[in-house]
Amino acid sequence: MRSVLGFLTLFFGVIPSLLAQNEFDALRYSTIGSGGTARTMGMAGSFSAIGADGSAAMTNPAGIATFRRSEFNFGAQFQNTIYKADYLGENLREARLNFNIPSINYVKADVQYDASGKPRKKGLSAVCYGFHVNRLATFGGSMAFQGNNRFSSVTDFFAEVANRDGNPSQLAAGSLPSLAYDAWVIDYDRGGSGRYTSAYKDSIRNNDQTGEIVSRGAIYEYQGTVGLNFSNKVMLGLGLLYSSLRYSEDLSMLEQDRRKVDLTDISTLDMASLDYQSKFTDKGGAWAARVGIIVRPTEQLRLAASVHTPRTYTVNSEYGYSIAPKADPGAIGDWTAQFNDPLNTYKYKITTPSRFNAGIGFVIQKAMLINADFEFYNYGSARLRADDVFTFNAENSAIRRNYRNVTNVRVGAEWNVPNPDNKDQSYRFRAGFGVLSSPYNPNVAGLNTELKKANTVLSCGFGLRDKDYYFDFALSSQSAAGFYTPYPITDPRFASEDQELTYKRNRVFLTFTLGLNLDY
């Protein structure tokens, strides 16, 4: 379980162990769509029925069967992520820029010829092979927050978790409650209630809290594809792929006590401040497949369909914590040392749902193409499991209850303008938009209205095409909204929806692709 669980505590109940993974992992690794060539990005990723682009194979592998020449391309991408966070009525804005490689594609087109040496028009017209590297998801971002919290302390969260785990002798070595107890930021009443409480000596809370959440990582896939072209009317494709993920998240938070204390009364002195940090890293991989078909009933119309199999990631997690308390001057047992928990490890599996994609494309007098994609996806079918005694029954029940089927829509267009001074060149102008439905079931009690809203994608692009090379760039903007709780707490004495950290996130991708047409 993470120190930052998003909305999970409010909607899915208390997670039983700080060593377990949670529903948010399944959602994170099931949500994809930030890579590809600049051509596909400029059309908001809508390309399944058109096909003649290397990274289109990540949607429909039949697309490579439309190639008539071999091709190689690679890209570069700058991503700027802006978070606007509201915590306890105070607003902060944080931006983070990173660079990545969104795609590398190679397609070998083997055109079939008839006995007269002309390209075959009937039967098997071409066999195409491809190898593709595409970035499916980007996790990089930084979100800062601050506010005055009169509801709770992070030590109340530590105590709540410890009360689920038992007396001090039962606390698991390396767990967060064990570290909090060793750091003296929670106390245990051995002779009375047999419960843990915050090291604050009263129930009054008045803390200035400042913090930052930094995330990094991506999901990449490596796919080999074969495509068959029959009479330039029916294209079939099969892609076998390996998907790798890496995600890390670091939380740092400083809590400073603003209660008025009498420094002459030693019985009232306790903590002055607390520096809390947590971090975790997930690494994993999965094998999967895609199959697809494109049908051309006429020269102007293209129809497409593809199926993506589920992916079962074997994930290795590392996680750890740091607690650095500081006592009021003169307090009994004055402590200032830092307590670090060595990294713990855990291995589990996440199965992400299968996908079905349908597309329709139009080619208008070889001057314009329009494509619309419809993606059907059931977030509620994701599953977590492990090979040990932990069953993930509660987490999987929450996935079924709180996630739903979605339909995502992407539409893109490309306008081809020949260069009047060079018959071998043309200019391409592109635009696209997408509506990505919220994965959350709107019937979940207390669901924040921001989470019901669909995410949007807006994009545009430009390309220069020559007979031997091409260059494309795209600008794409993706918006989303949500919220975190810096520490999830359910004790009614301290819990409050007012201490949710709500945010709006906007990601802007600037993508470049250089391609070479290869003759053999």
DSSP 43-75: TTT--TTT--SGGGGGT-GGGGGG-SSEEEEEE
Q: Is residue 43 part of a domain?
A: yes
Q: Given a cut of 70, is residue 464 above it in pLDDT? A: yes
Query: Would you state the pLDDT for residue 499?
Result: 82
- Per residue in 375-418, pLDDT (tens digit) is 999 999 999 999 887 889 988 998 999 899 999 999 999 999 99
* Averaged confidence pLDDT in the chain: 89
The answer to whether the beta carbons of residues 368 and 401 sit under 8 Å apart is no
- Residues 181 and 171: their CA atoms lie apart, in Å, by 9
Q: Regarding predicted confidence, which is higher, 85 or 339?
A: 85
Q: For residue 7, what are the contacts with CB-CB under 8 A and spacing of at least 6? A: 448, 451, 482, 483, 484, 485, 500
Q: Is residue 201 part of a domain?
A: no
Coil, helix or strand for 85? strand
The answer to whether the beta carbons of residues 343 and 16 sit under 8 Å apart is no
Buried b (16+ CB within 10 A) or exposed e, 172-185: eebbbbbbbbebbb
Q: Report residue 449's pLDDT band, with 50, 70 and 90 as the boundaries.
A: confident
In the numeric block, the tokens 């596909």 are attached to 40
Q: Given a cut of 50, is residue 89 above it in pLDDT? A: yes
Angle subtended at Cα 86 by Cα 34 and Cα 398, rounded to the nearest 5 degrees: 60
- Residues 458 and 184: their CA atoms lie apart, in Å, by 51
Provide the residue count of the chain.
520
Query: Would you state the pLDDT for residue 516?
Result: 94
Q: Is residue 131 part of a domain?
A: yes
Q: Out of 52-61, 359-368, 437-446, pick the least confident.
A: 437-446
Q: Is residue 186 part of a domain?
A: no
CA dihedral 160, 166, 167, 171 (to 10 degrees): -90
Q: Given a cut of 90, is residue 205 above it in pLDDT? A: yes
pTM: 0.88
Handedness of CA 41, 46, 48, 51 (dihedral sign): negative
Which of the residue ranges 165-174, 268-277, 338-347, 411-420 has the most confident prediction, judged by mean pLDDT? 411-420
Q: Given a cut of 80, is residue 483 above it in pLDDT? A: no
Q: Given a cut of 60, is residue 170 above it in pLDDT? A: yes
- Residues 427 and 471: their CA atoms lie apart, in Å, by 10
Query: Would you state the pLDDT for residue 388?
Result: 85
DSSP 100-117: E--EEEEEEEEE-B-TTS
Q: Is residue 407 part of a domain?
A: yes
Q: Which two tokens stand for residue 7?
A: 């909305």
- Residues 171 and 156: their CA atoms lie apart, in Å, by 17
The answer to whether the beta carbons of residues 387 and 346 sit under 8 Å apart is no
Q: Given a cut of 80, is residue 75 above it in pLDDT? A: yes
Coil, helix or strand for 38? helix
Which long-range contacts link 414-423 to residues 24+ away (Cβ below 8 Å)?
414/39, 414/42, 414/43, 414/368, 414/369, 415/367, 415/368, 416/366, 416/367, 416/368, 416/369, 417/367
The answer to whether the beta carbons of residues 59 and 303 sit under 8 Å apart is no
Task: Give strand ranges (E) for 296-330.
Answer: 301-308, 311-327
Q: Which two tokens stand for residue 314?
A: 């074997």
Q: Given a cut of 60, is residue 48 above it in pLDDT? A: yes
Range of the domain at 223: 8-146+211-327+344-518
Q: Report residue 454's pLDDT band, with 50, 70 and 90 as the boundaries.
A: confident
In percent, how much of the chain has pLDDT > 70?
A: 94
Q: Is residue 188 part of a domain?
A: no
Query: Would you state the pLDDT for residue 399?
Result: 92
Q: Which two tokens stand for residue 471?
A: 């260059």
Which of the residue ranges 5-14, 20-29, 255-264 has the most confident prediction, judged by mean pLDDT? 255-264
Query: Would you state the pLDDT for residue 276?
Result: 95
DSSP 354: P
Task: Give strand ranges (E) for 122-233.
Answer: 124-138, 141-149, 186-188, 196-198, 207-230
| CATH number of the domain where residue 130 is located | 2.40.160.60
Q: Given a cut of 80, is residue 338 above it in pLDDT? A: no
Q: Is residue 408 part of a domain?
A: yes
Element (H, E) at 450: helix 449-452
Angle subtended at Cα 137 by Cα 72 and Cα 342, rounded to the nearest 5 degrees: 125
Q: Regarding predicted confidence, which is higher, 20 or 355?
A: 355
Q: Report residue 3's pLDDT band, with 50, 70 and 90 as the boundaries.
A: very low
Q: Is residue 332 part of a domain?
A: no
The answer to whether the beta carbons of residues 45 and 375 sit under 8 Å apart is no
The answer to whether the beta carbons of residues 275 and 341 sit under 8 Å apart is no
Give the CA radius of gyration of the chain.
27
Residue from 381, 272, 367 nearest 329 by CA: 272
Q: Given a cut of 60, is residue 7 above it in pLDDT? A: no
- For the chain, the domain total comes to 1
Residue from 313, 341, 342, 337 nearest 327 by CA: 337
